[in-house]
Structures are given as C-alpha cells and as structure tokens.
Amino acid sequence: MDAAKERPLWAVLAVCLLAAMLEGFDIQSMGVAAPRMVPALGLTPGQSGWAFSASLIGLMLGASTGGAVADRTGRRPVLVASVVAFGLFSLVTPLARDFAALLAVRVLTGLGLGGAMPMLIALASEQAGEARKATLVAVVTAGLPLGGALAGVLARSPLAEDWRMIFVVGGIAPLLAAPLLRWLLPLGRPEAIDRHGRAALAALFAPRRLTISLSLWIGCALAALTLHLLLNWLPTLLVARGLPKSAAFGAAALFNLGGAGGGVALGLLTDRFGPRWPLVGTFAGLALALVGLAGAGDSGEIALLAFVAGFLLMGGQFTLYGLAPRLYADAVRGTGVGAAIAASRLGSIFGPLAAAQLIGAGAAGAAVVGALVPVALVAGASAAVLAWTARAPR
C-alpha cells in the first residue's frame, strides 16, 4: 500500500510547490550568474546564448520522455529521480572551466529539470477537484518564479560575489528535498495504462484533438520563448543600459515575483470564468507591457514594468499548463502534459539564442525586448484558439 496516499492535500501541494521552487531557482541561476560568470569564463555573446539554452535542450528531452515513463511507472519515481539529477549536475556546474564543459553539464542538468515539471502539474491536477484544478496547478507552478526570485535575491548578496555559489546552493537544496518528496507524495499512477503507447498517440494526434494539441503547443512554445529570453538576458540587458547590477538583479526578482502572483490570479479567474477572456486579455496586456519595458528609462519604471510583464507572461503560461491535464485522459495524462512542456522547452531554447544573435549583431536592449511584442501577440492568438475549441476527454 502506498502510505503517501493518506497525506493531506495541503502537504502534497506544499512539497510540489517546493519542488517547483527548486526548479525555478536552477533555471534562473544561469541568468543571475551571467553578469559575473560570462566575463570569468571569457564567453562570447554567441557562446552565452548556447550556454543559456543548453539546459533548455535537456529540459525538452526530459519533458518529452519523462511523461511517457511516468504513465508506466508513476509520477513520484520520475519526479524524485529528476530532482536528484538536476541537484547533482547543478553542483557540478561550478567545476566547468571552459565553454564545452559548461555546455555539457547544463544539458545534463536540463534532463533532470525537464522531467520534474510535467510530474508536478499532473500530480497537482490529479489531487484537485474539478472546480479548482487551474488554481491549484497555478499555485504549484508559481513555485517556478518564486524560486527564480530567490535566485535573484541571492545574486544581490555578498555570498554571490563568487558566481559559483549560486549553483552550489541550487544543487544542495534539491538533494536535501528529495527524501521529503519520496515520503510525502503519492505514486500518481493512473489505474489504466496503455503500455503500447497507442492511446497516447491517439490523445495527441486524433483528428478531434489535433487542433487543440497544436494550439496548446504553439502557445506554450512562444510564451516560453519570451519567458526564457527575459529570464536569462534581462539582468545583462539592463546592466548594458547603464543600470547598476543590484538594480538589474532587483528587476529580475520583481519579474519572477510578478509571475508568481500572475499564475495564481489567472488560475482563480480561469476557474471562475473559464479560460477564454483571461487568456486573451493577458497576452494583449503582455504585448503592451513589453512595449513599455522596451522604452522605459529610469530604474523605478523598469522595475514596475518588469513586475507587470512577469505577472502577465507567467500568468498566461501557467494557465496554459493548467489547461493541459484537462485535455487528456487519465492513462495518457503524463504523456499529454509532457508533450506540452516539451513544446514550451523547444520555444525556450530559441529565446536565449535569439537574444544572443540580436546582441551579437549590435541590437540594443530596447530592440531585443521590442522584438518580443509580435511573439506575444501570436502566442495570445494560439491561446485564444485553444480556449475556444478545447473540450475535456470523455
């Protein structure tokens, strides 16, 4: 008998939130370490872009395979193994002495990171009642920006004068948390599993669901492209515009804190009113916030707009994540959610690389942020198609 089945809902959600915070800390760690790490390792803008995207490549691979494995073995074993993996490889990151070593270790870190989030979303969705699924998924996924905000706070402390300490902290914490996850979380295994994968393919590509799957993937991918460009490059772009490093790290922390609030707020609105108008309004507002951020001048204005952009961007993305478990049957939920996360990771790979190319070509920080406006609008259009066509499986 699985003793964790008897754990109260609040305990399960609390440890899922903790795991999401640990993942968010590690994802943000490259961005907040970059202003000190890039000069220390002598990385070019192009190399920096690949270093930022390396873990995201691993994330995509981990998300695409972790969900399918979990549909056969259960969510908890995959989640615990993923947390241990990204903790170990985060600890190895400070040992990298050149670009090639950094690239390799960040890909391996990403494999662990990618396997974690689909499990957290599936577990939260399975534990929640139908009336509050979006809210509880949003509460758990809010751990991502909260962890990112903690990374930003740590980057402003004297401890982070040595950039390696950011990765040391980001490695030790997951290893300490892994036994707690193993003890408190339910197995999360569906009662009926198609071990031949046919149901999974039907769920993703059946004619009645193809439009739903494609619009979900496009919305997730473009939202993630925007998010990870800002997560990785925002501090560097702001420092290049003349802001002190402390102000730039503060704006990054506010971006993440806004994201945590936006995820919960949009989850509540979605459960109350449905996903249609909250999603449309969120992505339209995000485009306006990016226009403002591109033209902002003083540090106070930048901080406010960074908070608003994080609120809307992560609120929209987490709402898409919250919808994903509703679209697929129990036996293939891990596969369906994993595919959505993998699509978002594919988009997130191109965000840092696109910024590196623009900066390498001489683009200023305002131009890089402004280039995200049409991306946000297309993401919003895809989210609108999803919201108007989605139906839960029978």
pLDDT along the chain (394 residues), means of 10: 59 84 84 82 82 78 72 80 90 88 89 80 72 74 82 79 87 90 75 48 67 89 90 78 79 85 86 85 94 83 91 90 76 72 80 81 82 93 85 49
- Within a domain: 394: no
- Within a domain: 98: yes
Residue 129: what pLDDT?
Answer: 65
Residue 188: what pLDDT?
Answer: 66
- The answer to whether 151 touches 232, Cβ cutoff 8 Å, is no
Q: Which 3 state secondary structure label does DSSP give 129?
A: coil
CATH number of the domain where residue 71 is located: 1.20.1250.20
- Within a domain: 40: yes
Nearest-angstrom CA–CA distance, 213 and 64: 14
- Within a domain: 309: yes
Total structural domains within the chain:
1
Instruction: Supply angle C-alpha 188, 114, 167, rounded to 5.
Output: 120
Residue 245: what pLDDT?
Answer: 77
- Within a domain: 184: yes
Residue 302: what pLDDT?
Answer: 87
Which are the contacts of 130, defined by CB distance < 8 A and separation ≥ 6? Answer: none
- Give the range of the structural domain holding residue 50, as residue numbers without chain letter: 3-189+197-389
Q: How many residues does the chain have?
A: 394
Site of tokens 């964790």: 4
Name the residue among 321, 326, 316 with its Cα closest to residue 381. Answer: 316
Sign of CA dihedral 36, 41, 47, 51: negative
Nearest-angstrom CA–CA distance, 371 and 105: 30
Q: Residue 156 carries which DSSP code? A: T
- Within a domain: 320: yes
- Within a domain: 169: yes
Q: Residue 268 carries which DSSP code? A: H
Residue 219: what pLDDT?
Answer: 93
Residue 201: what pLDDT?
Answer: 58
**10 Å Cβ neighbour count for 270?**
25
- Within a domain: 30: yes
Name the residue among 237, 217, 315, 206 with its Cα closest to residue 270. Answer: 315
